Amino acid sequence: MRLTAQDFPPEALRLFDQYVHGDLSRRGFIEQATRVAGTPAAAAAMLAALSPRFAEAQVVKPDDPRILTQRQAFDSPLGNGHVLGLLALPAKPKGRLPTVLVVHENRGLNPHIEDITRRLAVDGFLAYAPDALAMSGGYPGDEDQARAAFAKLDQAKARADFLAAAQALLKLPESNGKLGAVGFCYGGGMVNWLATQLPELAAGVPFYGGQPPAADVAKIKAPLLIHYASNDERINAGWPAYEAALKGAGKRYEAFVYAGTEHGFNNDTTPRFNAAAAKLAWERTIAFFRQHLG
């Protein structure tokens, strides 16, 4: 039977959120989780149970005949020189394709985000997921190592890389020239930031992402579809000010808070995944992209 967030004490979920975002080491998690798990061994088992299982959750395999995938590099003169990522598109496209930039969480381009990118291709989009860890060797195959590498990134260069990737996608011959962006956690915050920096962005979908400075909201041109988890105090604390700024600037947006969900509810590799909320949020996302990207 698949574990869900309800199988864990709320304190364990809170500690896991800190661990995932680099605010707590593996040792720190085990030490603090021992209070609710009873023993260090039980706390370690709890951490293992909460951690991703990529193979079990894979929806679209890399060799799925419906799609084509390749590693693609774009120039990024203001970033790290170039940006490298996964490009996916339908194997038999009917004309030029609506295009989506996919922005990962704080572990780089791991197997889950690659799967998300392939899912978009199956749904008829040209999708590209840059890897902010590419310059340090790419996703290392270990979430702890990925977080450690991510903490060392030059974030200004990383932002420039995502911006360069977005601009390059618009010029691909397979693209219809309409670009959307979707991101998760760190990636959700990046989508919010891109919306303030990229006038060409036609649609933005941040999942539980940090909000941009209120002073920058007036620069947003794209309509936004914003997804939040109800049990996510850290991220949700910034929403009232963001919403006030969006309303004050007359921006187009829809925001949904999914009841009974944890941060990361769309990530189907961990027990924080909420199948019903993820299905609804993804259906809304695909419909939103189809509406605004053609």
pLDDT by residue (tens digit) across 252-266? 999 999 999 999 999
- CA nearest to 82, candidates 92, 71, 93: 71
207 in a structural domain: yes
Last residue of a domain, one of 35, 50, 65: 50
Domain that holds residue 40: 7-50
1 in a structural domain: no
Q: What residues contact 254, with CB distance under 8 A and at least 6 apart? A: 224, 225, 226, 288
Q: Are residues 161 and 41 in the same domain?
A: no
Last residue of a domain, one of 15, 35, 50: 50
CATH of residue 63's domain is 3.40.50.1820
Q: Are residues 247 and 270 in the same domain?
A: yes
Residue 114 burial (10 A CB sphere; 0-12, 13-18, 19+) = buried
Q: Are residues 175 and 84 in the same domain?
A: yes
Q: Are residues 25 and 158 in the same domain?
A: no
100 in a structural domain: yes
18 in a structural domain: yes
125 in a structural domain: yes
Q: Are residues 268 and 136 in the same domain?
A: yes
Q: Dump pLDDT digits (tens) for 27-39.
A: 999 999 999 999 9
157 in a structural domain: yes
2 in a structural domain: no
Entry pTM: 0.96
Q: Are residues 78 and 171 in the same domain?
A: yes
Q: Are residues 34 and 60 in the same domain?
A: no
**37: amino acid identity, one letter:** A
Can you state the angle between helices 40-50 and 26-37, rounded to 10 degrees? 110
Q: What is the rounded end-to-end Cα distance, in angstroms, of the chain?
A: 40
- CA nearest to 90, candidates 62, 70, 128, 120: 120
Q: Are residues 151 and 65 in the same domain?
A: yes
Q: What is the pLDDT of residue 249?
A: 97
Q: Are residues 148 and 270 in the same domain?
A: yes
DSSP string, the chain: ----GGGS-HHHHHHHHHHHTTSS-HHHHHHHHHHHHSSHHHHHHHHHHHS--HHHH--S-TT-TTEEEEEEEEEETTTTEEEEEEEEEESS--SSEEEEEEE--TT-S-HHHHHHHHHHHHTT-EEEEE-TTGGGTS--S-HHHHHHHHHTS-HHHHHHHHHHHHHHHTT-TTEEEEEEEEEETHHHHHHHHHHHH-TTEEEEEEES-PPPPGGGGGG--S-EEEEEEEE-HHHHTTHHHHHHHHHHTT--EEEEEEEEEETTTT-TTSTT--HHHHHHHHHHHHHHHHHHH-
- Total domains in the fold of the chain: 2
Sign of CA dihedral 207, 210, 214, 220: negative
Q: Are residues 192 and 83 in the same domain?
A: yes
Q: Are residues 279 and 139 in the same domain?
A: yes
Q: What is the pLDDT of residue 2?
A: 83
Q: Are residues 39 and 102 in the same domain?
A: no
**Which regions in the chain score pLDDT beneath 50?**
none
Instruction: Please state the length of the chain.
Output: 294
